[in-house]
């Protein structure tokens, strides 16, 4: 059972930082609360008493998203359901709807934030692989001598182990900035014990872009989660495929080698069989989707012409 | 206790309250506003019985602090329709028979409402996907999904509102689609389960449970807990005035651990306090000194000569042995051309009804000790409690509240005695609501069992003899074990006539969670073994699996395993229907090679995928183009 001495809902970042800087020992920053409430139960953390919970969900500066050139800044209050319900986000981040639909369920996605998923740093987090694949960075803000300071950290460097990040005392994650991947075909693979509300045993995000001819990979992004202490980009495969024609035999060969990436401490044999299958399936699916995206775009041009 | 001012709109009305800053929206709705249509099934966001709309978005109210709802518009199941009326979706649930125990239903109705609002054109697949956060244990979802599709058709004008009206019943109710009388109370959230009930001056109970599987209780000191502000009483086995002990067959279970604990999660002491938080805090102040004893965790070990004894009355740890003899198995095996031997094991299973155990007890003006609970066996409970609390039967009353799913799991009186004791000690109403974790740790499970099977057959597929030995893990207490073993023995060799059988079903005590009644009552474990043997035999003899069953099936005039002569038998018709419905490709198992033609036809469930909403969006775009 969770109990709170104080529950604050600051409306500006300055208020939130001031509260967090002066927070008593044991205070927590909270957003969707969808992870902390189930955590504070028998068999996990048990009865938890928080001296202060600082709820960030009404901090105006953390709302919404904005595009800067090829990069997209997602405020920390962007919730998982936004990736399904907002067509603009879905177009710019084509991997996110596929990831989101496997994340918890429609109701929890209304509360849970992408930033919260990153900051929790679960090795099985669904959000980290796609964000890493999109060269994600997080913006961490704090107050220093009354001044707002911020730093930017690559998500690959931010998550350092299970539940461990480089978030420093007094810091708040304000945003997640990722590549816009318009025109990419995407896929998200996940396996767990049921369809909704399931924590990944392993998951994998893939994005591919075809060149102007539509016959070769211009870009490939792959990242895997749940098979080691931290999620990983599969850069060797990305590099090998860039410039190549989509070739299922080559993909199968590259996929086979990924079994050795599995560094988990449990269910190793199972994961070793899952990961190559994911790499193959994700690349095939993402390639098909990249082709049909090109087809749809071409059709649109014809219609407009 | 700190408090915050909360102001919001609930079902269109402004509400202002001072609340505990740690309270969940669920607690606020249920406890402060008495809106008990919103249920708690798990408290961890898994089940969806607590779904409500917050600013138009469906969320799980067990995962939202009340403070977070400051200034929002909340809509609960009570707010969907005007009092006494039903919305289309509620009528559809009524029409299709989607509500059974009803405990998941308010949440299901809310999730369905969300589907109709967010995606009124949703396909069946998309409906299933969007309802994925809500669990039901009774229906298998078919009727629920059917109801949502029906409401969708009415709301979108594809069907007329008449479709929601009851079907006309002709001369006979048999063969007619009859609506359930209790559905309106369930689809509106009006029905009160035990955990929804409140009485003036009511206390809340929390239970201290054993961390050990087998340990002697050296001492229990409740004085510090009892001295706490807000605590009305603490109870232990020493408060029992009569002859302690309950159970469906053997009264081997004290209402709280007496002298020793026999499984992890066994109740050791309980506290009744002004609120749940105080009661839980008081548990931490109870001092229990244990001396750990060697435990038994495997039923085979329980039968060993030097095994620890769990109950003094049963030095061999055997709860019950049911032997069944028919014919002469030596003769039968001598006639066999083929003898097959195998072993089959099944695991422990939790019922996982969506309503966790809950009860409310009070002593009425005539000194009648009254217990309201979703007990599946109130008359027996009443008789047992009268002995335990040493009161004549006319001073003990049990009221059965609506059962939010039982499946056999609510046959055992595992908490009603504690409530009665606390009510007697305080003369105040006392309520106990299990958490999901508590329900899983303390309630009976399906018996894990092992069957050692020996089957003799002739070359033409006739069974000549069966030797069937089942060993079941009864866990720490007897509960329904004896009945389960009887049923397992009676059903052991399946619906097949076998002249020579030797069946032994045994259940033993261990220090595992007690096993008890669970749908099929021992039948499933036995049939898993028997039907597997039938398939193995068919394969070995080169027979079609249906054929070998027809060769051996019971007919009118057959003698059952307990030697009852059957006047009629229906297995021939069951087999014929099953063969037809499965589009069975006749022939022995080996004849098809790697591919068979009877898989994947209409009615076959598609593999588990998600993303139906993307496909329907694509379809919609396609239609526009």
DSSP string spanning B307-341? Answer: PPPSSTT-TT-EEEEEEEEES-HHHHHHH-SEEEE
Structure confidence by residue, pLDDT tens digits, B99-147: 999 999 999 999 999 999 999 999 999 999 999 999 999 999 999 999 9
User: Quick one: average pLDDT of B218-229?
Assistant: 98
Residue B157 CA to its chain's centroid (Å): 38
**B336: closest CA of chain A, how far (Å):** 43
Average pLDDT score over residue span B37-62: 97
Residue B260: in which H helix or E strand, if any? strand B260-261
| pLDDT at residue A301 is higher than 70 | no
Are the CB atoms for B419 and B371 separated by under 8 Å? yes
Q: Is the pLDDT of residue A298 over 80?
A: no
What tens digit of pLDDT does each residue of B337-394 get? 999 999 999 999 999 999 999 999 999 999 999 999 999 999 999 999 999 999 999 9
Distances (CA, A) of A210 to A207, A242, B472: 10, 9, 61
- Cβ contacts below 8 Å, chain A against chain B, sum to 110
Tokens coding B261: 């604990």
Q: What would the pLDDT profile of B247-277 be if each residue is shown by its tens digit?
A: 999 999 999 999 999 999 999 999 999 999 9
**CA A209, CA A289: separation in Å to the nearest integer?**
10
Residue B625: per-residue pLDDT:
32
- Has residue B230 got a pLDDT over 60? yes
pLDDT of residue B619: 54
pLDDT of res. B69 = 97
Nearest-CB residue to A101 (from B22, B438, B611): B611
Neighboring chain B residues of A102 at a CB cutoff of 8 Å: 610
Buried (b) or exposed (e) across B350-371, using 16+ Cβ within 10 A? bbbbbbbbbbbbbbeeeeebbb
Rounded distance between C-alpha atoms, residue B313 and residue A258, angstroms? 60
Does the ipTM surpass 0.90? Answer: yes
CA quadruple B458, B461, B462, B463: dihedral positive or negative? positive
CB A95 within 8 Å of CB A206 = yes
> How many whole angstroms separate alpha carbon A109 and alpha carbon A97?
11
Homologous superfamily in CATH for domain B80-166+184-191: [2Fe-2S]-binding domain (1.10.150.120)
Beta-strand relationship, A7-8 and A53-55: parallel
User: Cβ separation of A106 and B132 shorter than 8 Å?
Assistant: yes
B479-530 per-position pLDDT tens digit: 999 999 999 999 999 999 999 999 999 999 999 999 999 999 999 999 999 9
Contact A104 B57 (CB under 8 A): no
Q: Using CB atoms, which residue from A42, A97, A110 is nearest to B435?
A: A42
The pLDDT of residue B414 is 97
Backbone angles phi, psi at B257, to 5 degrees: -50, 130
Q: Are strands A28-30 and A53-55 parallel, antiparallel or unpaired?
A: parallel
Q: Which of A7, A45, A83, A293 best tests the B interface by mutation, with the highest count of B CBs <10 A?
A: A7
A292 vs B58 pLDDT, higher one: B58
Quick one: pLDDT at residue A195? 74
* The pLDDT value given to residue A124: 87
| A297 pLDDT higher than 80 | no
Better-predicted residue by pLDDT, A1 or B439? B439
Provide, as residue numbers in chain B, all residues whose Cβ is less than 8 Å from the Cβ of A81: 57
Identify whether the C-beta of residue A104 lies closer than 8 Å to the C-beta of residue A124.
no
Query: B573: burial class by Cβ within 10 Å (0-12, 13-18, 19+)?
Result: exposed
Q: Is the pLDDT of residue B618 over 70?
A: no
Confidence class for position B620, pLDDT limits 50, 70, 90 = low
CATH of domain A2-179: 3.30.465.10
So where are chain A's domains?
2-179, 185-304
Residues facing B452 on adjacent strands: B343, B469
Instruction: Find the CB nearest B57 among A57, A104, A110.
Output: A110
**Residues 6+ positions from A288 with CB-CB distance below 8 Å:** A185
Instruction: For residue B108, report the phi and psi dihedrals to the nearest 5 degrees.
Output: -65, -40
The pLDDT of residue A199? 81
Does the structure show a pLDDT above 50 at B34?
Answer: yes
Which residue is associated with the tokens 């509106």? Answer: B188
Record: contact A110-B614, CB cut-off 8 A: no
Nearest partner of A138 among A117, A108, A123, A122, judged by Cα: A117
pLDDT at residue B463 tops 50: yes
Rounded Cα gap, residues B222 and B227, in angstroms? 9
**Three-point CA angle B270, B274, B278, nearest 5°:** 65
**Structure confidence at residue B455 as a pLDDT band (50, 70, 90):** very high
B530: nearest Cα among B463, B446, B445, B459: B463
The Cβ-side half-sphere exposure at A161, using a 13 Å CA radius, reads 1
Under CATH, which architecture does the A185-304 domain have?
2-Layer Sandwich (3.30)
Task: Give the 3-state DSSP-derived string for B408-429, with helices as H, strands as E and coil as C.
Answer: CCCCCCCCHHHHHHHHHHHCCC
Q: How far is B611 from chain A (nearest CA, A)?
A: 7
Residue B623: the pLDDT is: 38
Quote the tokens at residue A75: 């405020």
Give the B window 193-252 contacts with A, CB below 8 Å: none
Return the pLDDT at B327.
Answer: 98
DSSP H helices in B217-303: 223-226, 276-283, 299-302
Angle, alpha carbons B157-B128-B406 (nearest 5°): 115
Task: Say yes or no to pLDDT of B43 above 50.
Answer: yes
Q: What is the mean pLDDT of residues B409-432?
A: 97
Interface of A with B in 110-139 (CB under 8 A): 110-111
* Per-residue pLDDT reduced to its tens digit, A127-169: 999 999 999 999 999 999 989 999 999 999 999 999 999 999 9
CA distance B216 to B233: 24
CB contact under 8 A, B65 and A196: no
Among B8, B21, B74, most A C-beta atoms within 10 A, so best to mutate, is B21
CA distances (Å), origin A177, targets A138, A140, A169, B373, B436: 6, 11, 22, 54, 39
Q: Are B88 and B155 in contact (CB under 8 A)?
A: yes
- Domain boundary assignment for chain B: 1-73, 80-166+184-191, 317-349+445-552
Note the pLDDT tens digit of each residue in A41-58: 998 999 999 999 999 999
Give per-residue pLDDT as tens, B174-213: 888 888 999 999 999 999 999 999 999 999 999 999 999 9
**pLDDT band per the 50, 70, 90 thresholds, residue A302:** low
φ and ψ at B260, to 5 degrees?
A: -150, 160
Q: What is the pTM of this model?
A: 0.95
Question: Residue B330 corresponds to which tokens in the numbers above?
Answer: 């030596």
Flag whether residue B299 sits within 8 Å of chain A, measured between CB atoms: no
Cβ–Cβ gap B22/A6 under 8 Å: no
- Taking the C-alpha atoms of residue B391 and residue A250, their distance in angstroms, rounded to an integer, is 80
Q: What is the mean pLDDT of residues B36-58?
A: 97
Confidence grade of residue A266 (pLDDT, cut at 50, 70, 90) = confident
Contact: B67, A9; criterion CB under 8 Å: yes
Tell me what pLDDT residue A194 has. Answer: 74
Q: In terms of C-beta density within 10 A (0-12 exposed, 13-18 middle, 19 or more buried), how is residue B621 classed? A: exposed
Min Cα distance B190 → chain A (Å) is 23
CB A31 within 8 A of CB A43: no
Beta-carbon contacts of residue B304 (< 8 Å; ≥ 6 apart)? none
Higher pLDDT, A42 or B285: B285
Mean model confidence pLDDT for chain B: 95
* Residue B332 · residue B345 · CB < 8 Å: no
**B130: chain A residues, CB-CB within 8 Å:** 106
The matching CATH number, chosen from 3.40.50.300, 3.40.50.261, 3.30.420.40, 3.30.365.10, for B317-349+445-552 is 3.30.365.10
**Contact call for residues B374 and B470 (beta carbons, < 8 A):** no
What is the rounded average pLDDT for all residues in chain A? Answer: 94
pLDDT score at A305: 53
B438/A84 CB distance under 8 A: no
**Contact B68/B4 with Cβ under 8 angstroms?**
no
Query: With pLDDT > 90 as the criterion, what percentage of chain B qualifies?
Result: 90
Interface test with B, best of A105, A203, A285 (most B CBs within 10 A): A105
Cβ distance of B613 and A84 shorter than 8 Å: yes
Q: Which of A33, A41, A47 sits opposite B65 (nearest CB)?
A: A33
Question: Residue B589: helix, strand or coil by DSSP?
Answer: helix
* Band of residue B221 on the pLDDT scale cut at 50, 70, 90: very high
Percent of the residues in chain A that have a pLDDT greater than 70, as a whole number: 98
Three-state SS at B619: helix
Q: What is the mean pLDDT of residues A289-305?
A: 75
H or E segment to which residue B451 belongs = strand B449-457
Report the distance separating Cα A202 and Cα A267, nearest Å: 11
Could you please state the CATH topology (level 3) that the domain comprising B1-73 is classified under. Answer: Ubiquitin-like (UB roll) (3.10.20)
Q: Which residue of B has its CA nearest to A102?
A: B610
């Amino acid at each position: 059972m969770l109990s709170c001495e104080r529950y604050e809902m600051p409306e500006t970042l300055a208020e939130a930082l001031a509260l967090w800087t002066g927070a008593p020992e044991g205070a927590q920053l909270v957003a969707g609360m969808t992870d902390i409430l189930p955590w504070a139960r028998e068999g996990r953390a048990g009865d938890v008493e928080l001296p202060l919970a600082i709820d960030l969900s009404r901090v105006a500066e953390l709302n919404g998203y904005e595009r800067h050139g090829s990069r997209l800044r997602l405020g920390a209050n962007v919730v998982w359901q936004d990736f399904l319900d907002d067509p603009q986000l879905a177009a710019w981040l084509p991997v996110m709807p596929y990831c989101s639909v496997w994340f918890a369920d429609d109701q929890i996605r209304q509360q849970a934030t992408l930033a919260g998923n990153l900051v929790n740093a679960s090795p099985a987090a669904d959000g980290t692989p796609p964000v890493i694949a999109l060269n994600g960075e997080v913006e961490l803000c704090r107050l220093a001598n009354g001044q707002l300071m911020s730093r930017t950290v690559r998500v690959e460097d931010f998550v350092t182990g299970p539940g461990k990040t480089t978030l420093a005392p007094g810091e708040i994650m304000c945003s997640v900035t990722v590549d816009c991947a318009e025109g990419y075909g995407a896929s998200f693979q996940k396996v767990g014990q049921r369809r909704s509300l399931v924590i990944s045993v392993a998951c994998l995000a893939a994005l591919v872009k075809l060149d102007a001819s539509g016959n070769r990979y211009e870009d490939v992004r792959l990242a895997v989660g749940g098979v080691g202490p931290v999620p990983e980009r599969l850069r060797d495969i990305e590099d090998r495929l860039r410039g190549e024609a989509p070739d299922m035999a080559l993909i199968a060969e590259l996929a086979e080698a990924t079994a050795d990436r599995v560094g988990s401490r449990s269910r190793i044999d199972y994961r070793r069989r899952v990961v190559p299958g994911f790499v193959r399936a994700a690349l095939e699916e993402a390639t098909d989707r990249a082709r049909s995206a090109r087809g749809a775009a071409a059709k649109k041009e014809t219609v407009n012409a | 206790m700190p408090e915050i001012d909360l102001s919001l709109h609930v079902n269109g009305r402004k509400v202002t309250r001072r609340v505990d800053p740690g309270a969940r929206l669920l607690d606020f709705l249920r406890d402060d506003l008495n809106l008990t249509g919103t249920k708690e099934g798990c408290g961890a966001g898994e089940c969806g019985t607590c779904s409500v709309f917050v600013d138009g978005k469906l969320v799980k109210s067990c995962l939202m602090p009340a403070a977070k709802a400051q200034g929002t518009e909340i809509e609960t199941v009570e707010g969907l329709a005007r009092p006494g009326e039903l919305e289309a979706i509620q009528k559809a649930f009524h029409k299709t028979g989607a509500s059974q125990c009803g405990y998941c239903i308010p949440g299901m109705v809310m999730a369905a409402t969300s589907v109709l609002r967010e995606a009124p054109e949703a396909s069946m697949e998309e409906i299933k996907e969007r309802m994925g956060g809500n669990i039901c244990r009774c229906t298998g979802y078919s009727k629920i999904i059917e109801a949502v599709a029906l409401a969708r058709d009415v709301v979108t004008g594809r069907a007329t509102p008449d479709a929601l009206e009851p079907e006309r019943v002709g001369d006979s109710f048999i063969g007619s689609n009859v609506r359930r009388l209790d559905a309106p109370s369930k689809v509106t959230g009006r029905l009160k389960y035990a955990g929804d009930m409140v009485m003036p001056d009511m206390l809340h109970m929390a239970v201290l449970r054993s961390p050990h599987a087998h340990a002697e209780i050296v001492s229990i000191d409740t004085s510090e807990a009892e001295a706490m502000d807000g605590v009305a009483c603490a109870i232990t086995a020493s408060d029992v005035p009569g002859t302690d002990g309950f159970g469906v067959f053997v009264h081997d279970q004290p209402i709280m651990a007496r002298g020793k604990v026999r499984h992890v999660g066994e109740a050791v002491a309980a506290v009744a306090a002004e609120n749940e938080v105080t009661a839980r805090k008081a548990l931490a102040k109870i001092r229990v000194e244990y001396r750990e004893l060697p435990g038994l965790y495997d039923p085979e070990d329980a039968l060993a000569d030097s095994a620890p004894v769990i109950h003094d009355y049963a030095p061999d740890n055997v709860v019950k042995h049911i032997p069944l003899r028919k014919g002469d198995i030596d003769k039968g095996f001598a006639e066999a051309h083929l003898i097959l031997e195998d072993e089959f094991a099944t695991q422990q299973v939790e019922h996982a009804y969506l309503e966790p155990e809950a009860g409310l007890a009070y002593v009425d003006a005539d000194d009648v000790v009254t217990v309201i609970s979703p007990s599946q066996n109130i008359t027996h409970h009443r008789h047992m409690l009268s002995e335990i609390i040493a009161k004549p039967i006319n001073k003990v009353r049990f009221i059965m509240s609506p059962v939010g799913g039982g499946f056999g799991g609510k046959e055992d009186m595992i908490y009603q005695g504690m409530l009665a004791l606390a009510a007697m000690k305080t003369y105040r109403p006392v309520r106990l609501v299990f958490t999901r974790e508590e329900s899983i740790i303390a309630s009976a499970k399906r018996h894990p069992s092992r069957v050692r099977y020996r089957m003799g057959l002739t070359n033409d597929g006739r069974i000549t003899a069966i030797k069937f030995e089942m060993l079941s893990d009864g866990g720490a207490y007897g509960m329904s074990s004896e009945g389960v073993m009887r049923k397992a023995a009676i059903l052991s060799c399946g619906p097949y006539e076998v002249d020579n059988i030797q069946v032994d079903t045994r259940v033993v005590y261990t220090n595992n969670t007690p096993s008890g009644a669970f749908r099929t009552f021992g039948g499933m474990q036995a049939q898993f073994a028997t039907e597997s043997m039938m398939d193995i035999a068919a394969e070995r003899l080169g027979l079609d699996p249906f054929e070998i069953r027809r060769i051996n099936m019971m007919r009118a005039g057959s003698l059952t395993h307990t030697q009852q002569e059957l006047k009629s038998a229906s297995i021939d018709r069951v087999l014929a229907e099953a063969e037809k419905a499965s589009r069975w490709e006749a022939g022995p198992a080996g004849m098809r090679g790697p591919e068979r033609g009877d898989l994947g036809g209409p009615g076959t469930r598609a593999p588990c995928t998600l993303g139906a909403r993307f496909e329907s969006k694509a379809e919609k775009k396609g239609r526009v183009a």
